[in-house]
Amino acid sequence: MTARPLNPRAALDTRESLLVQDPRTKARNATEKRFRAYGLTAIVVALLALVWLLVSIFGNGLPAFRQTFMTFPVTLDAALLDKGGKRDPADLAKATTFTYGKVLATSLGAEVTAKGIDLGAVQPKDLIKMISEESPATLRNLVLADPSLIGTTIDFTVLASGRIDGYYKGRVTMESAALDKNISPDQLALADRLKTAGVLGMKFNAGFLTMPDASDKRPEAAGLGVAIVGSLYMMFVVLILALPIGVATSVYLEEFAPQNKFTDLIEVNIANLAAVPSIVYGILGLAIFINFAGLPQSAPIVGGLVLTLMTLPRIIIPTRAALKAVPPSIRDAALGVGASRLQTITHHVLPLAMPGILTGTIIGLAQALGETAPLLLIGMVAFVRDFPGAPPDGLFDPAAALPVQIYNWTQRGDPGFVERASGAIIVLLVFLIAMNAVAIYFRRKFERRW
Amino acid sequence: MSIGLLSLIILVLAALGYVIGRRKAVGQVEGDIRKLHSLPPFYGRITALLTAVPAFFLIAAWLLAQPLFLENKAISLIDPAELPAGKSAELMMADVRRVAAGLNMLEARGDEVGPLLASPTALKTALNGAGVVLETEPTPSTLAATAALRDAGDTSRLAMTGAALLLALAGLAFGFSRINPEYRARNATEQFAMWLLMTSSLIAVLTTVGIVGSLLFESIHFFRLYPASEFFFSTTWKPQFGGGSSLGILPLLWGTLYVSVIALVVAVPIGLMSAIYLAEYASRSTRAWVKPAIEILAGIPTIVYGLFALITVGPLLRDYFASPLGLGTSSSSVMTAGLVMGIMVIPFVSSLSDDIINAVPQSLRDGSLGLGATPSETIKQVVIPAALPGIVGAVLLAASRAIGETMIVVLGAGAAAQLSMNPFEAMTTVTVKIVSQLTGDTEFASPETLVAFALGLTLFCLTLALNIIALVIVRKYREQYE
């Protein structure tokens, strides 16, 4: 304290010129610069985190949209597939996927010989290991649906096994294959030769979006079909329940509710519900909808109901804001020409508030679409391969959901599922971006200033 | 009759009500609608509303309440002598429900279920084939209970269909009979609509009642089986499904708080500094794209952050920090979850703080700048102190968000319940344990399952308290400048 002169001017007097900053000002200006730099750094760090997140997800997930396939002529030998020779469905069903696997392996062997590809050290019986375990089942279903195919030769495209797919995506190397009992380096070398001959190749994987989930050992065949349908069903339930209830609640609170304790109670409730952790809604769903009301587990209806309750406050809050933004003069004018209060609302206020309501609803739906935790508790984690039926009864069938499917895949052992999970996130993000884009479009297009 | 078809029939009846109600009103005044009290559509609307609304309410109430009545009878049929050791009749009812659901599924597929009921072995195989896995073969009394449950279910479904249709028709007849030119159809319609609006706003209250009710009810159930003092003060968490588990919440709370604190240590400086920069320094055009870009972080689903923690951040921290420093070899750790959660929470801190900083009156800044303070001195000595209560509120809201977060910790923090200071070790949180105790097949009679409700109640109270404190602080602060 003693260092500073009592008279501040004493410090100023030492300056030679006004254009030269004294040390104190310099220090203050440096602090100012540093402070600005901190702010800028914080923003850059936040944005870098976003970029890092997206790059990591896209880098891991984009390969899921391309898949290694093998195409070769398959001879459907009647002697193997239809021992009775009568094309009797019961007889045909006796040929198991194992038999079809043999058919595929034989045909692949024939193709290899026909094209003059060197088998190398691969035994002909090990050729089947290069084909996905899912493919015999696909072929079997194809034949069962159309028995006239038996005895003919068809050009059939099969999924390559997960390890070969991983080899072309950089997940599997010759070194790792040497330690892996599911694949050998010789098979990978053969795959390379098949690729040169044009039998094996990579192309867009439409099955990722349409096929159901597959078991632990078959990441190459796992798809999002059931999950997308399940998520759509849930969004449908949320939309038809949450939108009307949310709008009705907002209209009541904003336009009709008297100022009393009861209204206050509702308002406090809504504010609190918006802040309840989502997992608590899962507990509610489990206790009320499944345990008490006996609704089926894993059903989109239960997921939809839980998400509805969760989304309601998120729809009510923007809806009330939209209603509030409609100027009172509109209401006064309508009431003045003799409309009842309800007519005023339905004919004038609601249509004017609609863009705001829709924007809020779409954003609420987008949040519900990405919600995972409550769905885990109501049994959506179950392994579901069958597509649910058509609504409304299909709403009670077991189904998966997009975010839960992602969680499911992260819990599996095969590294191929990491790629699938990241790919599924890309699908989820595409849905979310589309929904938010629609919401922004609505806001821009219909936004009105009074 | 399926619910879809039933709803469709009721809707058709309501449409019919609209048409005939309107036509009757118009017919009674021979087309001269000036003699009607209300416009013709109102006569149709009130008839349609009276037809459809009560019937749908009946269906909803019936579906929610029917299991309560159905199971009373079935449970009385279970023979206590047949119960395996350690299983209560309530536990057996779970099997009964699953067998009944499995049988319904088989029947829906077109299989013959009659012969199956005669032989428990065949039944078990058939159900396994349908994806319903039973531990043991059903005993004769379980089968009797199953049959009773299914019968009661069929009867109840039939009764519901009948009652709903009857109610719809009664509503239709009642509405139709009331129509005459003097009938104030518009007032009646609006009164009805008002009741509907009020009922919908009750759903928010009912949800809260449902949450608190189910959490409290099952928690009380839990504390009857397991001493509350053990739950709140024991430091070991070791559930064993054979019984004799220790279910102490302390390790879970420790994990939760540790992860949340790391998240806040990441999010508060970054969020606050970006809010300050955006509010005080950034040009309008920078603000216009940076603010939404940061808010994208809030719109990304938590499962995405979870996967990010699992496949990118976790291995990175393990390979470059934990292993070289000898602090641990686990890729899921408190640090992983905390860091990623911190990124997620940044926008909560930044947008709320941004609003609050913007709400500080410009005159305060002008005064400070006028006295010769630099902008950063103004911010540090005037703006931040004025905005402090609001910023504290924002941080508390972010904390409540972090405590209730599930997916990031499920995928990033691990499952080992322990009290440790090492941030590179796997620890677990309250939400992770709720998920692990309640996923899969759940029996609502063992303390190992019921503990999830006590955990949920703790979580609910914790976040609610944080939110209320935050809101009170924010509200108090806002009043100062208005």
Return the DSSP state at B313. Answer: I
B contacts of A29 (beta carbons < 8 Å): 374
Q: What tokens does B19 get? A: 């048409």
pLDDT at A173: 82
Q: Tell me which of A219-233, A307-321, A380-394 is least confident.
A: A380-394
Structural domain containing residue A423? 225-446
Same domain for A252 and A396, yes or no, is: yes
Task: List, for residues A144-166, the tens digit of each pLDDT value.
Answer: 888 788 878 888 888 888 888 88
Q: Residue A28: inside a domain, yes or no?
A: no
Q: Which residues of B touch A283 (CB under 8 A)?
A: 211, 214-215, 434, 438, 452-453, 456
Last residue of a domain, one of A205, A239, A261: A205
Contact B383, B357 (CB under 8 A): yes
A-contacting residues in B 13-42 (Cβ below 8 Å)? none
Sign of dihedral through CA atoms B423, B425, B429, B432? positive
The predicted-structure confidence for A175-217, as pLDDT tens digits, reads as follows 888 887 778 888 888 888 888 888 888 888 888 888 888 877 7
Same domain, A177 and A298: no
In-domain check, residue A332:
yes
Domain count for chain A: 2
Within a domain: A140: yes
Same domain? For A239 and A92 the reply is no
Give B76: exposed, middle or buried? Use CB within 10 Å, 0-12, 13-18, 19+. exposed
Give yes or no for B410 touching A (CB within 8 A): yes
Give domain status of residue A11, yes or no.
no
Rounded to whole angstroms, the Cα distance separating B482 from B480 reads 6
For helices B430-438 and B447-481, angle between their N-to-C axes, nearest 10 degrees? 140
CB contact under 8 A, B407 and A392: no
Judge whether A381 and A408 are in contact, CB under 8 Å.
yes
Q: Which of A276, A297, A375 best probes binding to B when mutated, by most B CB atoms within 10 angstroms?
A: A276
Claim to verify: residue A301 and residue A409 sit in the same structural domain = yes
CB contact under 8 A, A370 and B300: yes
CA atoms within 13 A on the CB side of B296: 18
Which single residue is written with the structure tokens 């149709």?
Answer: B44
Between CA A208 and CA A420 the distance in angstroms is 8
Q: Is the pLDDT of residue A1 over 50?
A: no
Give the dihedral sign, CA A262/A265/A271/A277: negative
The pLDDT confidence band at residue A272, using thresholds 50, 70 and 90, is confident
| From B201, B210, B456, residue closest to A252, measured CB to CB | B201
Residue percentage of chain A with pLDDT more than 90 = 33
Contact at 8 Å (CB) between B164 and B157?
no
Contact B405 A369 (CB under 8 A): no
Cross-strand bridge partners of residue A75? A153
Residue in B with minimal Cα distance to A289: B64
Contact A165, A415 (CB under 8 A): no
* pLDDT value at residue A151: 79
Task: Kindly list the residues from chain A whose CB atom is less than 8 angstroms away from the CB atom of residue B202.
Answer: 266
Match 């109840």 to its residue by tokens: B156
Q: Judge: B307–A425 Cβ closer than 8 Å, yes or no.
A: yes
Sequence-ordered list of residues with C-beta below 8 angstroms from that of B338, at least 6 positions apart, any chain: B258, B259, B260, B261, B262, B263, B265, B266, B423
> Do residues B59 and B164 make contact, with C-beta atoms less than 8 angstroms apart?
yes
Structure tokens at A337: 């020409």
A307 assigned to some structural domain: yes
User: Does the residue A308 lie in any domain?
Assistant: yes
Nearest by CB to residue A273, choosing from B204, B277, B294, is B204
Q: Is B72 on the interface with A (CB under 8 A)?
A: no
Residues A236, A200, single domain; the answer is: no
Among A180, A312, A291, A134, residue whose Cα is nearest residue A239: A312
Residues A259, A298, single domain; the answer is yes
A369 closest CA partner among A213, A235, A245, A279: A235
Mean pLDDT of A321-345: 92
Q: Which portions of chain B are predicted below pLDDT 70?
A: 1, 79-92, 94, 108-118, 127-138, 241-243, 440-444, 477-482
In what helix (H) or strand (E) does residue B223 lie, and over which residues does it extend?
Answer: helix B185-225
Structural tokens at position A203? 């192309």
Q: What's the pLDDT band for A47 if we cut at 50, 70, 90?
A: very high
Say yes or no for a CB contact (<8 Å) between B274 and A421. Answer: no
Nearest CA in chain A to B435: A377
Where do runs of H (alpha helix) occur along A15-149?
23-61, 78-81, 89-92, 97-114, 134-145
Cβ proximity of A377 and B438 under 8 Å: yes
Q: How far is B38 from chain A (nearest CA, A)?
A: 12
Q: Which stretch of A195-199, A327-331, A372-376, B36-40 has the lowest confidence by average pLDDT?
A: A195-199
CB contact under 8 A, B205 and A46: no
Q: What domains can you pick out in chain B, each with its CATH number?
A: 3-79+139-208 (no CATH), 246-481 (1.10.3720.10)
A217: which 2 tokens?
């050992």
Half-sphere exposure of B327 (CA within 13 A, CB side): 20
Element containing residue A67 per DSSP (H, E)? strand A66-75
Range of weakest confidence among A109-123, A272-286, A352-366? A109-123
Q: What is the pLDDT of residues A96-144, one digit of tens each?
A: 888 888 888 888 888 888 887 877 777 777 777 888 888 888 888 888 8
Say yes or no to pLDDT of A68 above 80.
yes
CB contact under 8 A, B202 and A293: no
Tell me the chain A residues in contact with residue B281 when contact means C-beta distances shorter than 8 Å: 36, 39
- More confident call, A293 vs B206: B206
Partners of residue B306 on adjacent β-strands: none
Report the DSSP pairing between strands A153-159 and A200-204: unpaired
Using a CB-CB cut-off of 8 Å, the residues of chain B touching A272 are 208, 464, 467
Edge-to-edge strands, sheet with A153-159: A153-159, A66-75, A200-204
Q: Which chain B residue is nearest to residue A365, measuring alpha carbons?
A: B299
C-alpha distances in angstroms, A388 versus A223, A300, B27, B208? Answer: 15, 9, 48, 31
Beta bridge partners of B237: B247
Sign of CA dihedral B234, B239, B240, B242: positive
ipTM attached to this prediction: 0.87
Distance, in angstroms, between A299 CA and closest chain B CA?
13
Q: What is the pLDDT of residue B89?
A: 62
Q: Rounded to whole angstroms, how far apart are CA atoms B22 and B43?
A: 5
Tell me, yes or no, whether A196 and A251 share the same domain: no
Chain A partners within 8 Å of B310 (Cβ):
410
What's the gap in Å between the CA of A42 and the closest CA on chain B?
Answer: 5
DSSP letters, B122-146, are: HHHHHHHHTT---SSPPPHHHHHHH
Which of B197, B199, B312, B441 to substitute to test the interface with A, most A CBs within 10 Å?
Answer: B197
Sign of CA dihedral A422, A424, A429, A430: positive
- Residue contact A53–B305, C-beta within 8 A: yes
Q: Is B297 in contact with A50 (Cβ distance < 8 A)?
A: yes
Q: Where on the phi/psi map is residue B122: left (φ > 0), alpha (ψ -120 to 50), or beta? A: alpha
Nearest to B277 among A40, A50, A272 (CB): A40
Is the domain of A196 the same as that of A240?
no
Q: Are residues A136 and A195 in the same domain?
A: yes
Same domain, A125 and A262: no
Dist CA A22 CA B154 (whole Å): 93
Domain membership flag for residue A85: yes
In a domain, A246, yes or no: yes
A272 & A362 share domain: yes
Q: How many CB atoms lie within 10 A of CB A430?
A: 10
The 10s digit of each residue's pLDDT in A395-446 is: 888 888 999 999 989 888 788 888 889 999 999 999 999 999 998 888 888 7
Looking at the fold, whether A312 and A428 belong to one and the same domain comes out as yes
